[in-house]
Amino acid sequence: MSADAGGYLALSHCWGKPTDEQKKKFCTTANNLELRKVGFFESDLPKTFQHAVQVTRELGMKYLWIDALCIIQTITGADTEDWEKEAPRMEMVFGSAYCTLAASSAVDWEKGFLAPSSARYEESQSASGASRYSCYGLGPTDFLCHVDAAPLNQRAWVLQERVLSRRTLHFTGNCTYFECGVGVYCEDLTKHTNVRSYFLADPEFPLRLRVSGYSRSLDFLQYLFVKYAQSKITKESDRNMAIWSLMERMGSIFSTEHRYGIFKSFRFRLLLWRPGPGNDDGRHVVDNQELPSWSWMRYSRIRFSDTTSPVLHVPTDAAFAFSYKNPCVLFIRVRRLKDCTTEHEGRECSILDAKEEPVGFVWFDTMTRSNISLQECVVAGRAANDSEMIYILLVEVFSKNSYKRVGVGKIKARCISERYWNGELS
């Protein structure tokens, strides 16, 4: 790589679980800010930061951005003014960096990420006289295993950092990978195919989505949200903020609004999520009252309902319209389910009509008892290749004219009333 003279590198790393004393020692705080401006010794930094400084120098760069040093951190959590100002700027920090250094092998900031390598390189000449290099002793390489499955890439904030970065050096315990818009290269000089992350590796994210078409864009959004939902985050109250910059950029490309992981132009499909494996006992529900019942962010593992058709005929009325007064509210048109009950106990149930004939399926958001009387729903759409089945959100009354989501399902159209009334889903 040939670095720009005026550019900078950014470090993406795991904090681990530092104590208050470690935060006071290593982080920039309101108490030591003036001293930090004067200067400090590299040896005073944790090993991961020291290694990042070493790589920065080796690449001939002058500047390095590290969140713990460049954002005023709070120890008690009482003063978050600088964090609240800087968090939305992460888009610019990682999107403008010449390269991001990803400390994939470091589980915290004290471990470091540079280790001796057993690899050796030999130079030879081809028949045409051109130089070529061979790598020996590196061992097996696997980008998905070494990078995607690494502890670093299980963090919610890191997903945003990786997507927004123009290029990334991934330092793993096995080898080093370089990721950019044209693909992934290992230090053994081999190129790795990373089809699943085609859009994630866009150096000008999300420009590739501009020409991808509705179906491919939807597939990517569902893949991204499934991946993000299972990402860990220290403060669950940051769940919405940690993906905000990605949502803003994609919203600009799609020319649409977004709320809590739902794009307005894709809302009929993106609202058809359901808790995935691992949520069967309800332990993975995010304990955050600020998240509305219709947001997939409430769960750590999700999947999106298969509509068996890339085309979904959606309602032409104002179903799931965004409220401009309350971001947690969707305006809905509620319909009655005609004498329907569930057949089995659990989250995934068959729906029976009054004659006990199967008419559809329902997936509850939480575990429930059998034979519940299903009453209200909101129509999300009808599959183009199956005129009989309607995809719905199940709702229940929360207060006057207000509803909460309780599940998602599909049911025969004859079991849904034509009459509807307006309500609010929160």
Domain boundaries, the chain: 8-197, 265-426
What is the bridge-based pairing of β-strands 63-65 and 8-12? Answer: parallel
Q: Which residues of the chain have pLDDT under 50?
A: 1-5, 280-288
- Residue 146's pLDDT is 87
Burial class of residue 314 (count of CB atoms within 10 Å of its CB; 0-12, 13-18, 19+): middle
Host H or E run for residue 220:
helix 214-229
- Residue 340's pLDDT is 85
Q: Are 7 and 98 spatial neighbours (Cβ–Cβ below 8 Å)?
A: yes
Give per-residue pLDDT as tens, 61-71.
999 999 999 98
- Residue 12's pLDDT is 95
- Residue 221's pLDDT is 94
Give per-residue pLDDT as tens, 261-301.
999 999 999 999 998 876 544 434 444 457 899 999 999 88
The conformational region for residue 356 under phi > 0 = left, psi -120 to 50 = alpha, else beta, is left
Give me the count of residues in the chain. Answer: 426
Give per-residue pLDDT as tens, 364-410.
988 765 556 688 999 998 877 777 889 999 999 988 889 999 999 99
Describe the chain by its helix, strand, coil percentages, rounded to 5: 30, 30, 40
Angle value at C-alpha 198, between 311 and 274, nearest 5 degrees: 45
Half-sphere exposure of 244 toward its Cβ, with a 13 Å CA cutoff? 14
What is the spatial distance between Cα 397 and Cα 375, in angstroms, rounded to a whole number?
10
Beta-ladder partners of 125: 131
What is the spatial distance between Cα 82 and Cα 30, in angstroms, rounded to a whole number?
10
